[in-house]
Amino acid sequence: MATLQGKVALLTGAARRIGAEIARTLHSAGATVVIHYRNSATDAEQLQAELNAQRKNSCFLVRGDLLDIASIPNLITQTLEQAGRLDILVNNASSFYPTPLATVTEQQFDDLIGTNLKAPLFMAQAAAPHLQANHGCIINMVDIHGMRPLQGYAAYCTAKAGLLMLTQVLARELGPNVRVNGIAPGAILWPEMPANHAMHAEILAKTALKREGSPADIAKTVLFLVRDADYITGQIIPVDGGRLLNH
């Protein structure tokens, strides 16, 4: 089994939740990880301490607001200054909240499109020369609701649908030296808002496996695409327990 020793992965929005689990998984496979965060400084520093305790100088931090497109090249520069190279970009950062048609605002639309679609495009642009030099790869975190609409979430679903297409476009444009794939999670971690147990039960009832997935399910899929999938590019892999089977 190939390892990721000597490889450097930059992960956006990875101080907590699924992003942190992806970071731990790539790190355990031998990669040096660079954790991007915006506001979660404490979580990022704790994760860095945890990983560096396992292997010295194997985790670095970069901070930035991905809605500030002009600052994105600096995230790549900081990554190179600290880790020396860049092989893997995981566009994980995301915002998620409802935008009912009657009340959606331009600011909400710009925020959801910005974090879920615009930032991954310009992260890829800034990273591309370095990924091409190292025959690297990009993983975009899409969503099954970029494929199937979620009522009341028009801006979010549209952004993720755009990210799906961006994944395919980048795979064409950056081949043959860079592979670009996406992962579409289903019911993995519920959003950090007041629990709606009835809605959760309804969603799980619509999955073929009748249960919630875990962040490790996503992280293992990232590891597969990064380490073991040399002939896969331009693909979106749903990790949804069979949710897409139910219309």
Beta carbons within 8 Å of 120's beta carbon, 6+ residues apart: 91, 140, 163, 166
Q: Residue 156 catalytic?
A: yes
Phi, psi of 83 (to 5 degrees): -105, -15
User: How far is residue 239's CA from residue 241's CA, in Å, rounded to a whole number?
Assistant: 6
Residue 231 burial (10 A CB sphere; 0-12, 13-18, 19+) = exposed
> Active site residue: 37, 97, 153, 156, which one?
156
Residue 81 burial (10 A CB sphere; 0-12, 13-18, 19+) = exposed
Tell how far CA 61 is from the center of its chain.
16
User: How far is residue 45's CA from residue 52's CA, in Å, rounded to a whole number?
Assistant: 10
Task: With H, G, I as helix, E, B as strand and everything else as coil, classify residue 11.
Answer: strand
The beta strands (E) that lie in the chain are given as: 8-11, 32-37, 59-63, 88-91, 137-141, 179-185, 236-239
Active-site positions read 156
